[in-house]
Amino acid sequence: MLSVGDLVMMRKAHPCGSSLWRVTRVGADIKIKCEGCARVVMLERSVFEKRLKKIVESAEDAQSHQENNGVEPS
């Protein structure tokens, strides 16, 4: 599932050359920020899903990895 903090790749690259976006809001509308030029765009969820190519990095996965890599109990 999509969540805030996810890194996503869109089908079309942004004019700045980057096709990677960071999700900053998830709701009826999806807000994403370009990783190349930091431009923020808001899309309807249905439009976002059509343009989405793949989720490159899930924020939830990254969080659980961090927990797993934490300091081990002595």
Give the interface with Zn ion as residue ranges (CB under 5 A): 14, 16, 18, 34, 36-37
Task: State in angstroms the smallest separation of the CB of 21 from Zn ion.
Answer: 8
Residue 39 and residue 22: Cα distance in Å, rounded? 10
Task: State in angstroms the smallest separation of the CB of 14 from Zn ion.
Answer: 4
Closer to Zn ion by Cβ: residue 6 or 32: 32
Hey, what are 28's tokens?
A: 């009826």
Q: Is 43 exposed, middle or buried (0-12, 13-18, 19+ CB in 10 A)?
A: middle
Residue 30 and residue 62: Cα distance in Å, rounded? 20
Task: State in angstroms the smallest separation of the CB of 2 from Zn ion.
Answer: 20
Closer to Zn ion by Cβ: residue 21 or 58: 21
Closer to Zn ion by Cβ: residue 52 or 74: 52
